[in-house]
Structure 1
Amino acid sequence: MQTNEEFVKRLRKGAYGFVNLVRYTNDDNSSYLAAVKNSYQKDYQSLVREIQVLLQLKGCPRIVTCLGDSLQQSFSRFGEIHKLPLEYASEGSLNAFMNNYADRKLPEPLIKDLARMILEGLVSIHGHGYVHCDIKPDNVLVFPSSSTSSSYEVKICDFGNCLEKGEVPLCWEINFPWLGTAIYMSPESVRDGIADMFLDLWSVGCLVLEMYTGVSPWEGLELDDIATRLLSGQAPEIPEILPSDAKDFIQTCFSTEPEERGSASELLLHPLLPRPQVEGEEEETSNSFLLNLFKLRTRRRGSEKKVTTDAVSDKKPLKLLRFWKKKATLFKRTLNIVLRLKKSTDLFSLVFVHQGLARGFYS
């Protein structure tokens, strides 16, 4: 049981309230630090929604952990305060963390690690039927990592704007039509405000772009200009100097047709992101195989969506990319096996199939 609560410092202040660093001491004199989110009565419902979502996601990796299963209350001269204790991220938000690097540009290996972790968090969120609706550097927390493969790990926080898939927020028709923070939002969030997992993936593209360039998307533009560009199908500019796999990843996130972005699980297959190395496999061949596989999966997803929308009854054969021309028969066998793994996101299985075919196991 907590016997003492000691204020340490103010961590940040926002429109919803403020976050304090607090030290809690137990009866046995053990203590721990917590980041306590404080909101006044007007933001009470948002905080209730946040703890409800966090309790459902408790134990999921890449999601910040709430400490306790209910809100705490206290009083001040400004009125009643509602408190949500959360685990403390000693490295702060990703936004603050980027300030430690020259021009706010992160090293490429770190970008890949963090992008993978953010997508892993979205897999959990989307798997529970929720859309975060506000993925941005301020809502990604950085922790020291105990893993030898990465110096840091990240977790997604701030679920005050989180909605169930298909939900439309009550404020959307009243306020300026943004479902989240303007510079990280997708065209459909401006157009209709319906929560869908695809808008989180657009935000991931913005975030990865910012980690590479150190500059926020749509830098220097006013809200009206951003809305106009999004509604006309434009996306933030991707510099040509970025590596080709990074550009491809971001372009996929910026697809104007939301379903062509795939899912968080499918984006985890993208060659940009770190994956297990298979002994004896050439990196270039592996990248080529996974890139074509990723594109095939997202194209099939888009094709299925269009068939349903247009009520087309005849099934037309999928037009395939003609790579490995001299091994057309081998590719056909690969495709048949991949299609049977339609909903699988097991990278180990997919690479194993590729290896097995290359060595003649399925001939």
Structure 2
Amino acid sequence: MTMIKLGVFVVLLVFFLAGVVTLSQGFIETNHTEKAKVWRFSDIPSMKFVKFLGKGSYGSVHLYRHTTHDGSTSFIAAKSSSDRRTIQREFRVLSQLKGSPRIVRVFSSSLHEGLDRIGNRVYEIPMEYASAGTLSSFIRVNKQLNDSTVKDFTRMILQGLVSIHSHGYVHCDLKPGNLLLFPVYDQQTSTNHTYELKIADFGLTLKEGEEESDNWKYHSPYVGTPVYMSPESVRDGTVGKALDLWSLGCIVLEMYTGKRPWSEVSFYDLEDFLGEDKKVPEIPDTVPSDARQFLDKCFAVKPEDRGTASELLLHPFLVGDDKKIADDTTAPTKRWRRMGIMKPPAKLEDSVIKTKALKVKMISFKKSLKLKIPPPRPPSSTFVPVH
């Protein structure tokens, strides 16, 4: 009987302690929520929502107009996502690259945290607004870009990659849709003569060699077309700086032709081309000879043969007769006069990503692709600002 009473007492004690722990956890979580600074740009009186700009790899971007006390206005692009881990990672990378003239700027020392209309927790990064849209929309309007424009844009991309790679990162998602254009105006005539280019969307950025990261995870069947990925990244899932240089080659080719790489390949035949060592995007004869040599370097089968971003800046394709200083990112506006004047998107709507539903095709490959894609992650109730 004594043993039975002792057993009952132990059971009751366990339930009591479990209840205390639960209440304590609830109290701690409640206090943390009350202490958290919960607000979004839409909550600030001086910020007015203008429009939805588009969606990136894991979040959406909205445009806000900021009015100061003296009546002056400016625009801010706020990237928001419920995926705390990914947006926190992007903010950390952008903070480390702050000051680089070829990387999109952020306007805060920490992430902004708030709630959406239905109470879900979301996080925001305030960034500079690219009124000329993306390189993707620019190519869509202008089709084939002239030689001088291609060279200037290529130089700016490489300058950004030098900054990224010098910090030990690989962008992993370099493509025209992630390259932002900012108009450069003539101070005397107030007319747009050319554009500054900056790299954006660091949601998939990884440290070099970070193969087994939780950020990347293989899914089968693969959704979409990894047309900007290098053979080794598709075949082996490896992350190296040479991946970004292959992607750069795809972008340069697209600027010259107005078409995506592998455009001559049927969508359902891509499996035979992705991951094959000897398969490279077709370079048409219309591409200038110096550009062809540059592309051959970017599309080298062995990653180590592609060189580095700093070395490519000194390639004859970019240096040419101008003898331009490779890392000159602070030259005066006159530096850009030699670029041909290209048409900006006809409407503001053309300068942002279209909001129509994306038509996604599903492919079931015969053999596994080792391209790793970051899965969406549920939002967390705890957030620590990143400085």
Same fold (TM over 0.5): yes
Q: 1:183 aligns with which of 192, 216, 227?
A: 227
Separation in structure 2 between the aligned mates of residue 32 and residue 276 of structure 1, nearest angstrom: 40
Secondary structure in 2 matching 1:21: strand
Separation in structure 1 between the aligned mates of residue 230 and residue 204 of structure 2, nearest angstrom: 15
1:174 paired with 2:212, answer no
Q: 1:232 aligns with which of 276, 293, 297?
A: 276
Secondary structure in 1 matching 2:121: strand
Separation in structure 2 between the aligned mates of residue 158 and residue 181 of structure 1, nearest angstrom: 18
Separation in structure 1 between the aligned mates of residue 247 and residue 300 of structure 2, nearest angstrom: 12
How many residues align structurally? 278
Aligned to 2:4: none
Aligned to 1:22: 64
Separation in structure 2 between the aligned mates of residue 133 and residue 197 of structure 1, nearest angstrom: 9
Unaligned runs of 5+ in 2: 1-40, 329-387
Separation in structure 1 between the aligned mates of residue 287 and residue 138 of structure 2, nearest angstrom: 21
| 1:106-125 matched pairs, under 5 angstroms | 106-125=145-164
| Cα distance change, pair 217–90 in 1 and its aligned pair in 2 (3 A) | same
- TM-score relative to the length of structure 2: 0.66
Separation in structure 1 between the aligned mates of residue 327 and residue 197 of structure 2, nearest angstrom: 22
Counterpart contact for 1:218–1:236, Cα < 8 Å: yes
| 1:1-363 matched pairs, under 5 angstroms | 3-14=45-56, 16-40=58-82, 43-78=83-118, 79-101=120-142, 104-145=143-184, 151-168=194-211, 169-170=213-214, 172-176=216-220, 182-219=226-263, 221=265, 225-233=269-277, 234-274=279-319, 277=322
- Return the structure number with greater relative CO, CA threshold 8 A, min gap 6: 2
1:174-206 deviation digits (Å, cap 9, x = unpaired): 32598x970100001112222110000000000
Secondary structure in 2 matching 1:65: coil
| Cα distance change, pair 205–150 in 1 and its aligned pair in 2 (3 A) | farther
Which amino acid counterpart does residue 237 of structure 1 have in structure 2? E
Counterpart contact for 1:210–1:217, Cα < 8 Å: yes
Counterpart contact for 1:44–1:82, Cα < 8 Å: yes
Aligned to 2:7: none
Larger relative helix fraction: 1
Which amino acid counterpart does residue 147 of structure 2 have in structure 1? E
Shift >6 Å, 4+ stretches: 147-150
Separation in structure 1 between the aligned mates of residue 140 and residue 49 of structure 2, nearest angstrom: 26
Counterpart contact for 1:3–1:24, Cα < 8 Å: no
Identity of aligned residues (%): 48
Q: How far off is 1:225 after superposition?
A: 3.5
Unaligned runs of 5+ in 1: 279-285, 287-344, 348-363
Alignment RMSD (CA, Å) = 2.9
Secondary structure in 1 matching 2:274: helix
| Cα distance change, pair 98–108 in 1 and its aligned pair in 2 (3 A) | same
Which amino acid counterpart does residue 233 of structure 2 have in structure 1? S
Which amino acid counterpart does residue 16 of structure 1 have in structure 2? Y
Secondary structure in 2 matching 1:272: helix
Separation in structure 2 between the aligned mates of residue 157 and residue 245 of structure 1, nearest angstrom: 28
Separation in structure 2 between the aligned mates of residue 225 and residue 125 of structure 1, nearest angstrom: 34
| Cα distance change, pair 80–197 in 1 and its aligned pair in 2 (3 A) | same
Q: How far off is 1:218 after superposition?
A: 1.5
Counterpart contact for 1:37–1:85, Cα < 8 Å: yes
Moved more, 206-215 or 68-77: 68-77
Q: Which has the larger radius of gyration?
A: 2
Moved more, 73-82 or 62-71: 73-82
Secondary structure in 1 matching 2:99: coil
- TM-score relative to the length of structure 1: 0.70
